[in-house]
Structure 1
Amino acid sequence: HAVGQQLGEVAHETLDELAAALAGERDDVRAWARQDVMRDVVIGDLDKRASRFLRSLVDGGAPFLDLLCIDRDGRVVAATDPRSLGQMLGERDWARTALRGEEFLSGPIPASDHVAAAMEIAAPIRLPETGTVIGAVLGLYDWQHVIALATRIRRTLAPHGLRVDVLLLDRSGTVIGESWREDVDGQAEEELRAAGARIVQRFATSPRRGYVTEAQAAALVGFAGTDDPKLGWTTLVIEPLAAAFAPVRDMERRLAVALAGVLLAALAVATFLARRMSRPLRALMLATQDVAHGGEPRRPVEVRSRDEIGQLAAAFNTMTAELKCAQDDLLTASKFAFVGEVAAGVAHEVRTPLGILRSSAQILARSVPAADPEGAELVQMIIEEVDRLDRVVGGLLELARPREPLVEPTPLAPLLARALDFADGQAREKNISIERVLAADSCPARCDPEQIYQVALNLIVNALQMVPGGGRITVRTLPRHDGHVGFEVIDDGPGIPPDAREQVFTPFFTLREGGTGLGLALVQRVVRAHHGTVSVDSTVGGGATFRVVLPAA
């Protein structure tokens, strides 16, 4: 009974996994139908944006043999297979259903000479403003993915002593998917297929989960049926009777022959388990005492098992890690609050000379002869940088209450070029060469241009201060990857020691004599406010690479 119930539960879980995988693909098709690019079906996808979008999905790993879109008249206007374009499919069941505004699911469609077995999944394309149906999306879900999933489930059961076969049948009892053990012969397969058909017919109107003994096929069969009327599937998990009851019979023999030995073994196991339970509990108690005394555990509590004690140890490790992060965040916040108070006083004193500098530069601009464009350019640069410094002063005043970034699509190449132009004079004074690897056509970032300009300038100036004379600095943009863009500042300076690498973004930590330890901390704070990341890669004597990654526009 217990073995049969186990097979029934395995059949139910297998069916749930298969249905969940299919539901995920239905959600994907529904989501694709809501994309803005799908509006192009109204104009027949003239610029092929919808076709390129569908092709990118398949190339990106979507498990579909084909994806296509039809317009309101049932004509294919976009497809991963160009041969489908222009075909009239409005009379197909999926097309009629989707154009009525309903989702469609059917299959699997049997394999033919040209098309592999697949599920038809369709969803209507609507105008979001009015909800009007303007077309439909069809995906031919590769049925081999379902078979592969059933095979993977079957193989994961083998290490647990369950060497089973898996069959998937429709409501009529027809086998639509199967995964066999390597040692099953053709005759056994036919007998088990016939047994599956009998089970589907026998339990069509009764409870949809359980197990039966098939004497003719000499097998114990666990079965489970789906509650989704659109599918009507039944999953069978089949184990030969000899294999299913072998552990029970073996246990009976062992109990009859060596009951005393089993009792002794049980006593030994109980002693071992008691010690095994007490050891992690003792380690957990010591770690708790360390935390209670205001410190942190000397090392994480070792997780030795997946039972309740192991879960408790893992939860304790997670708690202490989160507590450490919270303490670090609180320390960083308190440091920034202190810096904000100090910066407010300093900024108040700095704004007056900045105003004088700007006024003087404006007066000087009026006295520069028209024949001296270089002088006029330098004066204009002074005015622009004074204005930027004034904005930086304003940022210092808001240090204790940082402002939200004014996000807009911003090309990174011109922003980095401006920062490099500003730092070029300092580089020439130190005889440091700067290489620019800036892609003019790179994807823009979603960021506040002034804040990210300040980030780039801080990183470049930081590199100039660390690189000795005759050194080299490279600034380059990064191509779009996984919805993000960014840039790197690379130097061939002395590098960062491993023990200091994790602290370079900590407020007031600095490796440079006379440094404040705020530049990189502010860089990290600004980048995180943009939902980006900043990281450093360095080896002692091998220079350093600071990488800033931001969301792409």
Structure 2
Amino acid sequence: MSAALESSYRELEQRVAGLTAELAASRSERLALADRLETLIDLLPGGLLVLDRDGIIREWNSTAESLLGGPLAGRRWRELADRLFRDGRADGTEVRLADGRWLAIARRPLEAEGGLILLINDVTETRALREALARRERLSAMGEMVAALAHQIRTPLSAALLYASQLGGGQLDGETRERFAGRLTERLRHLERLVDDMLAFARGGALRGEAFTLGALFEELQALLAESLESGALRLEIDCHDPACGLSGNVRLLAGALANMVVNSLEAGGGRARVDIVTSTLEEGGIRLRLGDDGPGVPEDLAERIFQPFFTGRADGTGLGLAIVQATVRAHGGDIRLESRPAGGALFIIDFPPPPLADALPSGAENLASEGAEHE
């Protein structure tokens, strides 16, 4: 009996020793894996922050410390973001720091723990290269347009010179002189519009990131169209899902682009038009703006060309209006397209990206900061 017990005890001892050895080996492997992972994270070219459910920084790598400056242990992301981005601005998922650097910040939730991972990359040089490339492309496009621009200017200029020469003859009666003076003024204004449109197109898209709301955008638009609205020539219906919804860019420039489209509707409708603007939220958080009118619409064979510079269906058009609208929308990170409308008229769809950290301007970072504080 005692021999059997002793044998069982020794067998149990051996099993315990084996399990202990296995646990020790497993722990050693986990520690080695953790060391390798820590080294790998530290060597990442981008910064990495791990926030707990209270928005406090618990883990980080050396790149994050270098990008954000100073020790990060135990700091609240909201407070850090407020300090770093107070004088900055936002553009899409990128934020400009007060010192001029641009950082791209991506977020990934830690669902099990209720925290958040932030991935941070310095994209200052990338943005500079993109802007230089965009400017080069605009200059190239300008070169291709010179011949077309010369033709566009020559026609109204020749007409203006003809009317001016007639006015200087001294043989016109008062009514004819007044008619010629009106036509001369009209041609000169056409030239002015052409030059203004060309300059707007050439400047393209670098915008200062300013925060504004849909409500402010539509107020600016109505102010630009006040004369047509008061005269009754224009009936403008705006159905805004959320006037407080934020955008980033230049509210006057964007309102001017929308006004350009409304004026197109007026001209296509013979001086009278009804224009409906409806906004909504896209699934990914962006904003959709639908602008439709009750005019004759755009012929199908012309639909693909309407955004091309110098393409126009009107004898007195510059052909730059919708090209400028498209450039302005793209400068705001958006996209514009023409869609068919079974009921008639033209329908333009403008999609803007999610209010880029931009509800948070001027700091450009409040949204990011709030991400880390959602769990407080």
Structure exhibiting the larger radius of gyration computed from Cα positions: 1
Which TM-score bucket, shorter chain as reference? 0.3 to 0.5
Instruction: Please give the TM-score of this superposition, normalised by the length of structure 2.
Output: 0.45
Instruction: Report the TM-score when normalising by structure 1.
Output: 0.32
